[in-house]
Structure 1
Amino acid sequence: MIVKVGVIGIGTVSQLMHLPILSGLHEQYQITAVSDISPTQLAFIAKKYNATPYTDPYELVKDPNVDAVFVCSPDQYHAAYALAAMEAGKHVFVEKPVTLCMEDLEKLIAAEKAHPELVCMVGYMRRYGNGFLKCKELLQADDRKIEYMRFRDIILEGDFFMGQTRLPYLSSDIPQSAKEESGRLRREQVGRALGEGCTEQQRITYVMLTGLGCHTLAAVRELVGLPVEIESVSVQGEHVVIVFRYEDFLAVYEIVNDQDVVQFDAAIEIYQHDRRMKIKYETPYLRYQPQTFEVIESTKNDTKTTLYGPDYRDAFENEVKYYHDCIVNGTKPKSDFSDAMADLKLFRDICMKIKE
């Protein structure tokens, strides 16, 4: 079955990840429509992928030649576009974060329940990487106690890698009024998420968590569940260190996103006294990099290291294939709208801890 796709939002991530992946999976998908606020960008991408261009995303979702809508617009428009797509009878794939505030997500969850025939999924691509899936398999295979976890996102890499590999086609012809509306909506939705009287530091941290942090925190949640307590949150601008308490172990998360040194240091490490497992993520801006998953086990007399990989399968491609299977089989994806609610609640609680 070939699923006909309309893509709303054709900026950097769409051009470097979603569009080429969907186009390459020609036995599973066909790009039939695209929409963007930039007229020049829209015309270029529509011609490149032989798709119908729409300046109005609400017209794209009505197109009878579209089965599923990929919402890759700025975060503050996700809820409105996803809701319109569901009301038009389309399957929906929404890039993370699904929304910026819980009120909007509750509307999507209600619509999802009202349309059980539709497959709705959130793009948490790190939860579909092969190293992550192997780690989850090993955790479920025995009952070794977790004694400590550390995970991190210390990242600055996009422009550096794109400048040397694949530059997206971006235009500057977005109307100033549209930019102003976008900024206003974003600030309003973050304000609703955090409540009246929220500080600028809370806003900065919340945006970091919904943007970059949700990848790692959603992956950790799938591996070990939610923490029972947020022990502490230390912040300074775009530097955040969080200590979580689980039932019987502590975990530390670091997120840094304002440095000048180019690197992509994203990993999840699990310590189990005689075993340490490490999921190492690579930048998505360079596709088909070798991915590895490392397991170190110690006995009384020896230490054994097992390296799974190198694996060249792309996590973005894995999740899109998974989504196709869900549509064909009528199954519910693991990262649906209800699943994403846990992350927004956690992000809010982290930011409330800052205020305390």
Structure 2
Amino acid sequence: MQSSIGVGFLGAGPVTQAIHLPTLARLGAAFTVRHVTDIDADVAAAVAGRAGAAHSTSVEALLDDPAVEVVAICSPNAFHAEQVIAACQAGKKAVLCEKPLAMSAAEAAAIAAVSAETGVPIFVGAMHSFDPGWRAAVAQWGALPRTSHTIRSSIVLPPNSRFEDVATEVLTRQPFPAPDYSDVAVLPGMTHAGVMGLAIHDLPLIRSLLPRYDDLRVIDAKFLAPFGYRILFVAGGKSIELHAVMSQTWQPDWALEVFADDQVLNVEFAPSYVHAGSAVSRLSTSESTQVFGPAEVNGYEVEWRELAAVVHGELAPPDLSTLVDDVRFALTLADASADAVRSTPSAEDAA
């Protein structure tokens, strides 16, 4: 029988509380939560107490803990790169970093270098890439990456708290500050954050359909209040539309569509924080429609299962060059979208 893998969490916010801890609980003896670190000592203690784990407010304390074999990084985006690097240098067996892996091309390159030097495998928690419903469609889509000409991602969600509270009782949720639209840097910054925080879920999927993205060009970008974006861009000879808004909608909807002249793929994802099985994918031609999913497990569970398989030597680690290229693609799009919004940064445009 394989031994349980000890996990340490850097960051004890809603992602840890409402996504990863419930997922690990479903996996039974495969993992044991050993250490939880958060800058808020009370939150660290309370979340760790749920799992019977040690707690601290120090990254070094977690990395020095010999019971921690795998580090899960669920801290704010700005800290991801330095914490991934530190976990690799600490000689851990694997690192799971929430998306995005890095916030600059230089950070991504530094992560690639230290992972290659230490041999520590890195996973990025892009759950849609692991989703069984998506993967089943990929296995059957044939020439779609070559023949598709249009890609559309549409995300309409209420605030995350609605789903976080279904998953667990979240402690000390941070309030979302009211934007100061009189500051000309706000709308470009929020658009950039939207790409790196929300669109990032599906950008690896979109990139897998592109032959190249060095020709990426944003045609139009607009910030949508209270939080969202509408971005139209071209890359690799294809037209891509990203639309997202988080508001008080009663009906959540998360869809990715891919169009070719003779084939259409439609993927319906559950909202983040929802533990209700996989996506449902429909691959259609003029003659038939294949339906994949829903599977009983979701992408969160698959990513942890595959991490365990890598730690136990049963599976090859993820291709780090692919993960780094996903980051570069996202950053290229985020920067270009922010630049496009910066040309019309008025509060009226945000409304």
Verify the 8 A CA contact 1:293 1:307 in the aligned structure 2. yes
Match of 1:148 among 133, 147, 150: 150
CA distance in 1, matches of 2:229, 2:316: 37
AA at the equivalent of 1:45: V
Match of 1:325 among 298, 305, 309: 309
For residue 159 of structure 1, report the CA deviation from its aligned partner: 2.1
CA distance in 2, matches of 1:292, 1:264: 15
CA distance in 1, matches of 2:50, 2:261: 53
Structural mapping, 1:257-268, within 5 Å: 257=246, 259-268=247-256
Verify the 8 A CA contact 1:71 1:81 in the aligned structure 2. yes
Q: Secondary structure at the match of 1:223?
A: coil
Match of 1:51 among 47, 50, 53: 53
CA distance in 2, matches of 1:113, 1:296: 41
TM-score, normalised by the number of residues in structure 1? 0.82
The alpha-carbon distance between structure 1 residues 141 and 313, as it changes in their structure 2 partners (threshold 3 A), is farther
2:219 aligned with 1:219, yes or no?
no
Cα deviation digits, residues 132-152 of structure 1 (max 9, x gap): 112222234678721322112
For residue 289 of structure 1, report the CA deviation from its aligned partner: 4.2
The alpha-carbon distance between structure 1 residues 144 and 138, as it changes in their structure 2 partners (threshold 3 A), is farther
Structural mapping, 1:15-30, within 5 Å: 15-30=17-32
The alpha-carbon distance between structure 1 residues 255 and 74, as it changes in their structure 2 partners (threshold 3 A), is same
2:292 aligned with 1:312, yes or no?
no
2:251 aligned with 1:250, yes or no?
no
CA distance in 2, matches of 1:160, 1:65: 34
The alpha-carbon distance between structure 1 residues 30 and 122, as it changes in their structure 2 partners (threshold 3 A), is same
Higher mean C-alpha displacement, 135-144 vs 200-209: 135-144
Verify the 8 A CA contact 1:58 1:81 in the aligned structure 2. no
Tell me what 2:180 maps to: none
Report how many residues are paired: 328
Verify the 8 A CA contact 1:11 1:168 in the aligned structure 2. no
Q: Secondary structure at the match of 1:310?
A: coil
TM-score, normalised by the number of residues in structure 2? 0.84
Cα deviation digits, residues 250-308 of structure 1 (max 9, x gap): 22121223x22234322111122232110111113231246311122214xxxx33322
For residue 95 of structure 1, report the CA deviation from its aligned partner: 0.3
Tell me what 2:117 maps to: 114
Verify the 8 A CA contact 1:239 1:255 in the aligned structure 2. yes
CA distance in 2, matches of 1:345, 1:143: 21
Match of 1:294 among 270, 275, 282: 282
For residue 161 of structure 1, report the CA deviation from its aligned partner: 3.4
For residue 338 of structure 1, report the CA deviation from its aligned partner: 2.1
2:133 aligned with 1:131, yes or no?
yes
The alpha-carbon distance between structure 1 residues 199 and 171, as it changes in their structure 2 partners (threshold 3 A), is closer
Verify the 8 A CA contact 2:34 2:67 in the aligned structure 1. yes
Verify the 8 A CA contact 2:145 2:210 in the aligned structure 1. no
User: Alignment RMSD, CA only?
Assistant: 2.7
2:192 aligned with 1:203, yes or no?
no
Cα deviation digits, residues 121-174 of structure 1 (max 9, x gap): 2111110111211222223467872132211222224222344x33434148x9
Match of 2:62 among 60, 63, 67: 60
Tell me what 2:167 maps to: 166
For residue 240 of structure 1, report the CA deviation from its aligned partner: 2.3
Verify the 8 A CA contact 1:160 1:262 in the aligned structure 2. no
Unaligned runs of 5+ in 2: 178-182, 344-351
Tell me what 1:274 maps to: 262
Match of 1:39 among 25, 35, 41: 41
For residue 198 of structure 1, report the CA deviation from its aligned partner: 8.4
Tell me what 1:9 maps to: 11
Verify the 8 A CA contact 1:292 1:308 in the aligned structure 2. yes
For residue 29 of structure 1, report the CA deviation from its aligned partner: 1.6
For residue 355 of structure 1, report the CA deviation from its aligned partner: 4.1
Verify the 8 A CA contact 2:147 2:260 in the aligned structure 1. yes
Verify the 8 A CA contact 1:3 1:68 in the aligned structure 2. yes
Verify the 8 A CA contact 1:240 1:256 in the aligned structure 2. yes
For residue 75 of structure 1, report the CA deviation from its aligned partner: 1.5
CA distance in 1, matches of 2:211, 2:264: 19
Tell me what 1:343 maps to: 330
Verify the 8 A CA contact 2:7 2:70 in the aligned structure 1. yes
